[in-house]
Structure 1
Amino acid sequence: MKSFLDENFLLQTKTAERLYHDFAKDMPIIDYHNHLPPDQVLNNINFKNLTHAWLAGDHYKWRAMRTNGVNEKYCTGTDTSDYEKFEKWAETVPYTMRNPLYHWTHLELQRYFGIDTILNGDTAKAIYDEASEKLQTPEFNVQGLLASRKVETICTTDDPLDSLVHHKEYFDRTEQGVDMFPAFRPDKFILIENPAFASYLQRLGDIVGFEINDFDNLKKALRSRANFFAANGCRISDHGLEQIYASEFTEEGADKVLKKVLSGTSISPAEEVEFKSAILHSLGVMYSELGWVQQFHVGALRNNNLRAMRELGPDTGWDSIGDFPQAQAMSRFLGKLDEFNQLAKTVIYNLNPSDNYLIGTMIGNFNDGSVAGKVQFGSGWWFLDQKKGMEDQMDVLSNVGLISRFVGMLTDSRSFLSFPRHEYFRRILCNLLGNDIENGELPNDIKWIGQMVQDISYNNTKNYFGF
């Protein structure tokens, strides 16, 4: 019987062990999509305690705690102490077995704090005290946490309305530590059905210095903000949409829809999709002109619990996998850009596992030989960011594409303690390849396959994004 979380965790064969320890383990990390707060990187903060570092904003943990019967006050409440919240999480941990949270929790305790004790209600106080004490020391500030996992580059996710003040100040420093770049997330200017849409346009107009009263001015304003982002190191955009929009449109039609909304007139579902299709295509053209990589996270059904949305707001743990049609619109969107050589490098992340082969084959339609892996099937995302989900994504990509050109893992996280997820991914990758070698399904060419492991872990990412 193997020990839990030993040095060969998730590695089932000697070849897998060799691939991981000799090739993957020591590669640096480029985390090209996350939601880390840039002000905390700039100020190189120390977290007050383990709850602040680990539980604040973590809707994965909140969701598990609620399922375990924990009262909401221990998740998002303000009338309970930090330790009380941690204790409720510790009491929940034993009930998360076979959920990736169980693995991540103990990986993070081991990798950052050297704590290999199993977390539960009985061990909570000792673990909390030890980790919280360490978090107060200089080597456990934000830069220290990142350096301990060999994080080289991070890309945050930023609103076009953002001043990027923290990125700018950080970029101007002579000694920065990890490289930090912004990423452009303009979804609020696509989702025209949002009641706050007009107010977003007002704020955008205030920033760019002209009124956004038609479609052309909206395009100009977003381009102005994109240029500003590019001047501050941005080279990536990102979208979190239910699906890609690509109905027939004209800019004149999109302009009419926009003006109706600005006048307070309701629009039809068809008009809504026409506007979304027009602005998304315009953004795609812009990304190509800027030389950026565009990312699309598709398939999430968000804010299902209306009572929780009203009381707690978005991103608090009430989302799930959706079943939106993806193929035709995705094909039209990518195809319309490609037709006129305006398709930027593209990464598509899928949340519905039934669409894995759809995405895996879709990317091959637009890999035109100009760039290795120009259109990517992104790593397992959100509910699929776990062992089976990552294995399934890599199996599909292997079967219908080239996993050797894959740009690998990212955290998509708000926590500075989440970087062992890269290790988790690398162990799963090495196990897949090691098993194939020992089964005779791949040759015992350790030099070549070891190089492939390093490429997927780091080199492909560095080359693809140009870091």
Structure 2
Amino acid sequence: MMAEFINDNFLLENKYAEELYHTYSKNQPIIDYHNHLSPQRIADDTVFNNITSAWINGDHYKWRAMRTIGINEMFITGDASDKDKFLKWAKTVPYTIRNPLYHWTHLELARYFGIYDLLNEKSAEKIWEQTQEKLNTKGYSCRGLLKKINAEFICTTQDPTDKLEHHQKLANSDFEVKVSTAFRPDKAILILNKDFNKYIDTLGQVAGISIERYSDLCDALKNRMEYFNKKGCRISDHGLDQIFFEDYTENEVSSIFEKKRENIEISKEEALKFQCAILIFLCESYHEYGWVQQFHLGALRNNNKRMHRILGPDTGWDSIGDFPQAKKLSAFLNTLDIKDKLAKTIIYNLNPADNEVMASMIGNFNDGSIKGKVQFGSGWWFLDQKDGMIKQLNALSNMGLISCFIGMLTDSRSFMSFPRHEYFRRLLCNLLGDEMQRGELPMDINWIGKIVSDISYYNAKEYFNI
């Protein structure tokens, strides 16, 4: 009989790796400080009808793989039945070998459903029935799935216009998992977007401020930050091509914003000045509130214009960009640091060529005031796979202190994505265990184990004051 693919020592290659994982990492709670889960689904404790609604719908990682092997869009985002969509995904899975989807798929089936069979066309019907039976029992609702995976804290990502009513409902409930949010105001920054003025109107309505001048925009954003802060928000997030930094004056920025509000075309140079000014204003405000700020840099989004027009954003048409990062990121962080207004900061890159840039950049602004104040974020999106995570860990180790690292996050819309934390922890333990076996680290299992526990859980708990 073939041994189970997902077993106790999956990805753990020696006795040191096994002990590090099973003793010091495996049972640590999960702090998922950045994801895109639906707070409404958590608040309503949504029950999924079937494995497709829980696992495939909305997952553009899976969608890209299905398209690649020639699955018709009808079975991906179209009107095929949920069962037929699952069967098409099952057909796809064997062809995903060496893609992280292959590991994630089987980890998720094992951890949520106790299913250790390989998913393929032959096993699909049986696994459909097994998951259907489980999903119809108590403990498989949205809240149940989060408890099942030992989540302690999760942080969704909301626009400043969000009323946070679902987070408030959760705060007033007896749900054991703490659910907070990050403040993501990118729509108020990206002034060249065609819907920018429409968004500013909406922001003004929510804040109760008529936004005509740049100062009004700052007031409205500050109003929403205050609202989010009162609701327990302590984290911000930005998803940008690159950090904006241009010299500007307040008069210039005010004039640029007023031109935009009057629907007068502005230049790219004017846009950069505005974007730099508003981002610096936001980051100074984050420092004032004591928040953590996150920057996800380097995605080239919506490449396929035809499919973006048909399906919209976040449907699988994004890729890695090759934007220059170092010079403007340095100038931006330096501008905040000079004023002593640099908040705790996490920087993520999507281009692996920038690993060493980011790993060395954080050391410029770790000033001894806070442990790991400026962090090189974990492998993200196209880099949250085995090779990407190991390269991030190696770059951070070589140029910074891995011992201060705050670990993994899911960045996911799926309630079944949390075994990515386990995946990361196994890779971390194997990396350190391998170096112990080769004599590159001391045979001090208690000390190396403490480092593993810190990266898995305690560093994030301290960093986010959970």
Partner of 2:215: 216
- 2:348 corresponds in structure 1 to 349
Q: Deviations over 1:295-354 (max 9, x none)?
A: 000000000000001111000000000000100110011000000100000000110000
CA distance in structure 1 between the aligned counterparts of 2:192 and 2:164, rounded to whole angstroms: 27
Mean alpha-carbon deviation: is it higher for 131-140 or for 216-225?
A: 131-140
Distance in 2 of aligned mates of 1:130 and 1:124? 10
1:233 maps to what in 2? 232
2:152 partner letter: E
Q: How many angstroms does 1:252 deviate by?
A: 1.6
Report the Cα distance in structure 2 between the residues aligned to 1:171 and 1:18, rounded to whole angstroms: 37
- State the distance in 2 between where 1:366 and 1:269 align: 29
Q: Distance in 1 between matches of 2:277 and 2:27?
A: 45
1:88 match: secondary structure = helix
Letter in 2 for 1:169: K
Partner of residue 161, structure 1:
161
Name the residue aligned to 2:28: 27
- Report the alpha carbon displacement of residue 43 of structure 1 after superposing the two structures with TM: 1.1
Cα displacement (A) at 1:45: 1.6
In the aligned structure 2, how far is the partner of 1:338 from the partner of 1:317? 37
Q: Which deviates further from its counterpart, 340-349 or 144-153?
A: 144-153
Asked if the contact 2:243/2:325 (under 8 Å) is kept, the reply is yes
Aligned equivalent of 1:139: 139
State the alpha-carbon separation in 1 of the partners of residues 363 and 254 from structure 2: 34
2: CA distance, partners of 1:97 / 1:402? 33
Q: What is the rounded CA distance, in whole Å, between the counterparts of 2:7 and 2:359 in structure 1? A: 34
Corresponding position: 1:12 with 2:16: no
Secondary structure at the residue paired with 1:140? coil
Q: Note if 1:90 corresponds to 2:101.
A: no
Unmatched tracts of structure 1, length 5 or more: none
CA shift for structure 1 position 3: 5.2
Q: Which amino acid aligns with 2:75?
A: Y
Count of matched residue positions in the alignment of Structure 1 and Structure 2: 465
Alpha-carbon contact 2:39-2:166 (below 8 Å) kept? yes
- For residue 136 of structure 2, what is the amino acid of its counterpart? Q
Give the Cα separation in 1 of the matches to 2:261 and 2:74.
40
SS in 2 for 1:348: strand
Mapped to 1, the partners of 2:18 and 2:354 lie a distance apart of: 32
Query: What's the counterpart of residue 56 of structure 2?
Result: 55
Q: Distance in 1 between matches of 2:454 and 2:318?
A: 33
Where does the alignment leave 5 or more consecutive residues of structure 2 unmatched?
none
2:336 paired residue number: 337
Q: Work out the CA distance in 2 between the residues paired with 1:363 and 1:250.
A: 28
Note if contact 1:46-1:137 (Cα within 8 Å) is conserved in structure 2. no
1:177, CA displacement in angstroms?
2.1
Q: CA offsets, 1:199-220, max 9 Å, x none?
A: 1110111111121111111111
1:67 positional shift: 0.2
In 1: Cα distance, 2:398 partner to 2:268 partner: 38
Native 8 Å contact 2:299 2:318 kept in 1: yes
* Distance 1:447-1:2 versus aligned 2 partners, 3 A rule: farther
1:450 maps to 449
- Calculate the TM-score normalised by the size of structure 1: 0.99
CA shift for structure 1 position 13: 1.0
Query: What's the counterpart of residue 40 of structure 2?
Result: 39
User: Aligned partners of 1:274, 1:27: CA distance in 2, in Å?
Assistant: 45
Instruction: Provide the rounded CA distance (Å) in 2 between the counterparts of 1:53 and 1:307.
Output: 28
Moved over 6 A (4+): none
Q: Does structure 1 retain, via aligned residues, the 8 Å contact 2:43–2:169?
A: yes
Superposition deviation, residue 2 in structure 1: 7.5
CA distance in 2, matches of 1:269, 1:26: 50
Distance 1:111 1:210 in 2: 48
Q: Is the 1:46–1:138 contact (alpha carbons within 8 Å) kept by the matching residues of 2?
A: no
Q: Give the match for residue 386 of structure 1.
A: 385
Residue 171 of structure 1 aligns with which residue?
A: 171
Cα 1:151/1:450, change in 2 over 3 Å: same
* Separation (CA, whole Å) in 2 of partners of 1:312 and 1:149: 32
| Distance in 1 between residues matched to 2:423 and 2:105, nearest whole Å | 12
Query: Contact 1:182/1:232 (CA < 8 Å) preserved in 2?
Result: no
**2:187/2:199 contact within 8 Å kept:** yes
Residue 409 (structure 2) pairs with residue 410 (structure 1): yes
Superposed displacement of residue 184, structure 1: 0.2
Task: Kindly state the Cα deviation for residue 170 of structure 1 after the two structures are TM-superposed.
Answer: 1.3
Judge conservation of contact 1:143–1:177 (CA < 8 Å) in 2.
no
Q: How far off its partner does 1:284 sit?
A: 0.6
Give the TM-score normalised by structure 2: 0.99
Structure 2 Cα separation of the partners of residues 187 and 89 of structure 1: 34
**Identity across aligned pairs (percent)?**
58
SS in structure 2 at match of 1:167: helix
